[in-house]
Chains A and B, each alone.
Chain A
Amino acid sequence: MITTTDLTKVYRTRDREVTALDGVDLHVEEGEVFGVVGRSGAGKSSLIRCVNLLERPTSGTVTVDGQDLTALAARSGSGNRAGKELRAARARIGMVFQHFNLLSSRTVLGNVELPLEILGHSGQQRTRKARELLDLVGLADRAGSYPGQLSGGQKQRVGIARALAGDPKVLLSDEATSALDPETTRSVLRLLRDLKEQLGLTVLLITHEMDVVKAVCDSAALMRNGRVTESGTVAELLATPGSELAGELFPVGGEPSAPGRTVVDVTFHGETATEPVISKLSRTYNVDISILGAAMDTVAGKQVGRMRIELPGGFEENVVPIGFLREQGLTVDVAAVADGAAGDAGAPPGERSAEAVAAPAGQAAARAEGGAE
């Protein structure tokens, strides 16, 4: 649905050049929620703005729904002015912003009507459509309010309703939840997820919050210094040994309780049914297993995430139990804990469990696609 090919963006100031995008190849499948994560300055913002050509890429192409937008932009002439065709294409791509970007001088209804005005809809049509959209985001009763009278979450709902006005196939979300508190973030993400299912949207979102990816994304990419360093479905990423993104999405930690024990990281890709693997292991081999840390999710009856467990005795004594785990279709890494340090820096295990619990249940948080060898 969205494809970028060798996309580069270089900002030139008088005395230096800054490369924001350095050959980005991105492929977003139709109907998926694709999250791009990375630190600030990694190029996320430039990337999403290049997708609807708010920023002109220095080189490379952007194709959205089979339409080569970079070619449209090139045809519309010089400078930053957007030609008619490019503007029409933009109208079919919704965009949601971190700071909402609502007009304080218009009512909520007026804000949602704005894109419809640009599309040239008649007054009655506009109002009807805008009211439908507000209903969709649960703000039908605030149509007459001004943005200044709304909470952050409500403002973003208005932003989403506005982004949907042009019946887009693609929705771009630029840190849409970064200005919101965790509770509001969850409800806005839930809304995005629902809308995506309901309207068959393809969503490209950029964020610096791993929770956002965990909550709504089917696929994700990690950006660093203008490059995409990892990319794939969540299952693929989890199956990739040493994946930084998987590690950050499902961070596990915890130190062995005593020396001379074996610490093992187990990754659940979402292939395994919720069989009680750990207790089975315990019973079958009569070993005492302690869970040092876990970041797990159970989605549609399948387990996704990672867990760090501790087995008594050295590695040699545990070859058989580890083999058992691999037979269950899990990825098993024997953690290097010689120095006693956990593989991932971060919060203590207790908090991670809470994180895992907090993720919305009953929704497809990750698709069980791709091999798990």
Chain B
Amino acid sequence: MSWSQMQPLLFQGFWDTLYMVGCSALVALVGGLPLGLLLVLTDKGGMLRNRPVNRVLGALVNVGRSLPFIILLIALIPFTRFVVGQSVGSTAAVVPLAIGAIPFFARLVETAVREVDRGLVEAVQAMGGGTPTVVFKALLPQALPSLVAGLTTTVIVLIGYSAMAGTVGGGGLGSVAVQYGYQRFETGVMVATVVALIVVVTAVQLVGDAAVRLLTARGGGHGADGGAGRRLARLGRGRTAAVAAAVVVPLALIGYGLGRGGEDEQTLRIAASPTPHAEILEYVQKHLAEKEGLQLDIRRFNDYVVPNTATESGEVDANFFQHKPYLDDFNEKQHTHIRPVVNVELEPLGLYSRKEKSLKGIGSGDTVAVPNDSTNEGRALHLLDEHGLIGLKPGAGPEATLGDIADAKGLEFKELEAAAVPRALDDVDAAVVNGNYAVDAGLNPASDALVAEKAEGNPYANFLAVKDGNQDDPRIRKLAELLNSPQVKKFIEDKYQGAIEPVFGPVGS
């Protein structure tokens, strides 16, 4: 991707990040400050000592702090819709970001306020000051350097969280990195976004540190609170490292998961997506494989890159999760030699709407949600093109993006994480949804879809794949045979009710 193509992406991402982080930090400040103060004031020995209130607030904060952000993001969708009137887009991402940051900042406020000398509280009380006086004249001004350091830390954590905003179409630098750099192997984009993120984080930290120094300096360096400020600022830098660690650790764990195992030479190790691929393999393992003397070791991945690289390196013998356009692209860009063996199933994309009963109702001025990952987005756009809702540029490939649309015919698009698309149905006029997610969301692909992909000749059928040269391994041949058996056909039809269709046979080139 050239710089001229990359530049608008980066700028848009930068502004989205700034918008999301700025707004959510503001809300975190407004919400976290009183919460943190109340945690101190209602605690034992506090001026508003109130055990039940303190316990409840503490528990709330702990719950907020322990929820993984991605869970919060999804769980809060109804609330988000209630608050900002939509559940997709940058503004919608602000709500979960803020909710996630409030308890985090509240704890930092609590620590900062606790470090204020109790003698000062006593002095203000002795002057005849009440609780508000103590809070506004003593606690907050004295804790200010620490509070600023805490806010800096919070902003940096929010920048990390905002990378996940792509799930609800919030955009931002982080999601540009994931969407283009990771899923589409545009290394240039990934490097550029990461550099941009480093610059942003460093700038925030420098500004925060400078503010803390400025606020601390007037104490002549004698005040205990100055020390607290500096300690917190150091904690802030530690937090940056923690965010980096949060990225590295899961990757390391994936590697570890691959590294171990391999107990039996005869056991066939297969990497698969959890649904439906691993479920189908489990069915084969439980009901068919043993009779044929075949042992399966099924490894589940939530990720679409590692299964192929692991197959290429021989850490697994086969994988089952992808379709032809994806594999071709992967082989080309990663210089791998993965070959399809046999088709198994198709998850047909369909166009769904809660507002319109037929395709005719969708037109100019309407908003359509599409998945944001490379292949599903391309598929979705091709589906819309096929039915005349949009016109793609001639020669638009399987990984077409919004940039490949020649004629949008007045439609507007929202790009979302595939799993989040059905959840956005109430906020958009129509959405292109994967079959499995449609079923999960209570939609029936057979009857609810306005249009759907056809099974025959569909290039997006998912297949069993191996490294080139292993196609004739007798164990692979046996597994291919079992996956194409009438029992598996019946299993797929019974279990997935049309969300997933059995598509057997050799893979077309």
Contact = CB atoms under 8 A, between A and B. Distances in A.
A149 interface: yes
B125 interface: yes
A82 B225 contact: no
A80 B141 CA distance: 23
Contacts of B388: none
Interface string B23-55: 000000000000000000000000111000000
Given A80-B47, A81-B48, A101 B128 contact: no
A103 B129 contact: no
A219 interface: no
A172 B48 CA distance: 25
A238 B127 CA distance: 37
B127 A97 contact: no
A87 B128 contact: yes
Interface in B118-175: 119-120, 122-131, 133, 137-138, 141-142, 144
Contacts of B137: 103, 114, 117-118
Given A104-B219, A105-B142, A82 B130 contact: yes
Given A54-B125, A118-B128, A101 B119 contact: yes
B126 A93 contact: yes
A149 B133 contact: no
A95 B126 contact: yes
A148 interface: yes
A105 B144 contact: yes
Given A79-B49, A97-B122, A99-B119, A105 B127 contact: no
Interface in A94-148: 95, 97, 99, 101-106, 114-115, 117-119, 146-148
B335 interface: no
Contact of A118 (B120, B133, B141, B219): B133
Given A117-B137, A148-B219, A54 B126 contact: yes
Contacts of B250: none
B222 interface: yes
A117 to B, nearest CB: 7
Contacts of A117: 137
A93 B125 CA distance: 11
Contact of B125 (A79, A82, A103): A82
Contacts of B127: 90-91, 95, 114-115, 118, 162, 165-166
Contacts of B48: 79, 81
A103 B219 CA distance: 9
A115 B47 CA distance: 19
Interface in A53-96: 54, 79-82, 87-93, 95
A52 B130 CA distance: 14
Interface size class of A (residues with CB under 8 A): 35 or more
B117 interface: yes
A118 B223 contact: no
Interface in A145-165: 146-149, 162, 165
B242 to A, nearest CB: 30
Nearest to B128: A91
A93 B47 CA distance: 20
Contacts of B474: none
Contact of B220 (A148, A162, A166): A148
Nearest to A148: B220
Interface residues of B, number: 31
Given A79-B49, A118-B128, A118-B133, A101 B117 contact: yes
Given A97-B119, A106-B141, A146 B126 contact: no
Given A95-B123, A104-B223, A146-B219, A80 B128 contact: no
A38 B220 CA distance: 35
Interface string A177-198: 0000000000000000000000
Nearest to A83: B130
Nearest to A79: B49
Nearest to B118: A101
B260 interface: no
B159 to A, nearest CB: 29
B141 A103 contact: yes
A142 to B, nearest CB: 12
Contacts of A101: 117, 119-120, 122-123
Contacts of B130: 81-82, 87
B221 interface: yes
Contacts of B126: 52, 54, 90, 93, 95, 172
Nearest to A117: B137
Nearest to A89: B128
A119 B128 CA distance: 8
A158 to B, nearest CB: 11
Contact of A88 (B128, B218, B226): B128
Interface in B213-233: 215, 218-223, 225-226
Nearest to A92: B128
A90 B138 contact: no
Contacts of A148: 218-223
Contacts of A102: 123
A258 B304 CA distance: 104
B47 to A, nearest CB: 6
Interface in B83-141: 117, 119-120, 122-131, 133, 137-138, 141
Given A54-B122, A103-B138, A106-B141, A81 B129 contact: no
A104 B125 contact: no
Contact of B141 (A52, A54, A91, A105): A105
Contacts of B220: 146, 148-149
B416 to A, nearest CB: 47
| Most chain A beta carbons < 10 A, residue from B124, B126, B129, B138 | B126
Nearest to B130: A87
Contacts of A118: 124, 127-129, 133, 137
Nearest to B129: A118
A52 to B, nearest CB: 6
A117 B219 CA distance: 22
Contacts of B129: 87, 118
A93 B128 CA distance: 9
Contacts of A166: 127-128
A80 B117 contact: no
A90 B123 contact: no
A97 B197 CA distance: 50
A90 B123 CA distance: 11
A313 B127 CA distance: 62
B315 to A, nearest CB: 57
B130 to A, nearest CB: 6
Given A90-B125, A172-B126, 5 more contacts: A54-B122, A54-B126, A93-B126, A114-B124, A166-B127
8 contacts: A95-B123, A97-B122, A97-B123, A115-B128, A118-B133, A146-B218, A146-B220, A172-B126
Interface of A: 52, 54, 79-82, 87-93, 95, 97, 99, 101-106, 114-115, 117-119, 146-149, 162, 165-166, 172
Interface of B: 47-49, 117, 119-120, 122-131, 133, 137-138, 141-142, 144, 215, 218-223, 225-226
